[in-house]
Homo-oligomer: A and B are copies of this chain.
Amino acid sequence: MSQKKMLLVVCDGLSDRPVKQFDMKTPIQLARKPAMDALARHGVSGMMDVIGPGVIPGSDTAHLALFGFDPYKVYTGRGPIEAAGAGIELKPGDVAFRCNFATANKNLVVTDRRAGRIKAGTADLAKSLTGMKIDGVEVIFKEGSEHRGVLVLRGDDLDYRVSDVDPHQDGKILESRALVPGAKKTADALNIFVKRSAEVLSDHPVNRERVKNHLPPANIILPRGAGSTKDLQPLSERYGIKCAAVAGVTLVKGICRMVGMDVPNVPGATGGLDTDYKAKAEAAIRLLDSNDFVFVNVKAGDIASHDGDFRMKVGVVENIDMMLGLILKDIHEDVVLALTCDHSTPVSVKEHSADPVPLAISGGGARVDGVREFDEVSAASGALGRMRGMDLMPVMLGMADRAKKFGA
């Protein structure tokens, strides 16, 4: 049997709960979605607990599970994923943090956690911080999108189990504490870095210019989400497949890079509501030529949910359906094509929830189970039953005739 190609489309937070004002329907149930329904009709459906029953997945832990890793074993914190997303190559022992450029007064009281959502100049600010040395610990700092940045501490005997400096709201910055006895050196270096960042940034030309223009200066760095990279076996080794990803969000890109995927830049794939769905479809089809497994993430559903906007979310479903239609029209029927979500983000909750997500797989060795629609209820009557996110890759590999035999 020849091995088949695989395509996984993850609709970030698209899964939802029924809403009373909309006749107890979910946005997916109310949307027109001929492509999604065709996929369900020609394949096999099921429900998925991405992490486990009753566990609310983060986007980071969810994607690790969807790529076949046990997040309880490999996930330490968000820092390393952001670092990978920013293109920093972490070494074993490095401790990485997500950071905000923020505005604080002279007493280190934060007055704006996002420094007025600063857009320009952060690359210059980052350059003034990176390369710093603190008691033998090397500092690597890189700007991210808008007010975001990544800090990496590199040196001997560091430990990621330290508390955040970021107060997560306006107010005095926190002193990082060691959460285990061996992490004191890391907490100390982190506290010194934050204070030095305030000294270095306060007088930086970018900030002098901002103050002149009555904009809040980006005069302090607030680190949080410490983590160390765990040795994630690349998917090429783990499953013997060449992989590529189409994603707009830095976090998702970071995870894809950490598991060894090629993540080319797709112009127009923004990770926002304005993302270019057609460009994403075309990139996916193109990447499938030279890869065994292509992963596509669409963030827009999650964004509409965080805004609590049911009608906007229906629109997102229909946009994704259009993208899926373009893909379905162009790919070979042998391609194992899976459609699912990384977690539910009900518009009624405006946050991730623990509700399981729908899953449909067609093509390759997928069975056909008679489910005729793709949504949170129809999928539950499918032949896949209720499964865990960690099992998705093995199941897809099985349908693509790429699974391994155990025994004789």
List chain A positions with a Cβ less than 8 A from chain B: 1, 17-18, 24, 26, 47, 51-62, 71-72, 75, 78, 225, 251, 346, 348-355, 365, 367-370, 376-377, 380-388, 391, 393-399, 401, 403-408
Chain B minimum-CB-distance residue to A18: B368
- Other 16 A-B pairs with CB < 8 A, given A353-B365, A355-B398: A1-B348, A1-B351, A17-B367, A24-B368, A47-B385, A52-B391, A53-B391, A56-B398, A58-B407, A349-B365, A354-B403, A368-B377, A377-B383, A381-B381, A381-B383, A385-B385
Chain B minimum-CB-distance residue to A381: B381
With known contacts A365-B353, A368-B18, A377-B367, A58–B408 Cβ distance under 8 A: yes
A408 touches B55 (CB 8 A): no
SS of A interface (majority): loop
Give, as a whole number of angstroms, the nearest-CB distance from A77 to chain B: 8
B residues within 8 A CB of A225? 408
B376 touches A365 (CB 8 A): no
B residues within 8 A CB of A395? 53-54, 354
Tell me, in angstroms, the Cα distance from A58 to B408 when the chains sit together: 4
Q: Jot down 22 A-B pairs with beta carbons below 8 A, ordered by A.
A: A1-B351, A17-B367, A18-B368, A47-B385, A53-B395, A54-B393, A54-B394, A54-B397, A55-B398, A56-B406, A58-B405, A58-B407, A58-B408, A59-B407, A61-B407, A71-B406, A75-B407, A353-B365, A354-B397, A355-B398, A384-B386, A385-B386
Give, as a whole number of angstroms, the nearest-CB distance from A225 to chain B: 6
A380 touches B382 (CB 8 A): yes
B residues within 8 A CB of A368? 18, 24, 377
A376 touches B380 (CB 8 A): no
Which one of B24, B54, B78, B348 contacts A408 once the chains associate, using CB atoms below 8 Å? B78
B403 touches A54 (CB 8 A): yes
Tell me, in angstroms, the Cα distance from A404 to B385 when the chains sit together: 25
With known contacts A354-B398, A385-B380, A406–B367 Cβ distance under 8 A: no
Tell me, in angstroms, the Cα distance from A391 to B354 when the chains sit together: 12
Give, as a whole number of angstroms, the nearest-CB distance from A221 to chain B: 18
Chain B minimum-CB-distance residue to A224: B408
Chain B minimum-CB-distance residue to A78: B408
B376 touches A55 (CB 8 A): no
Which one of B18, B346, B353 contacts A403 once the chains associate, using CB atoms below 8 Å? B353
Tell me, in angstroms, the Cα distance from A395 to B383 when the chains sit together: 20
Chain B minimum-CB-distance residue to A354: B398
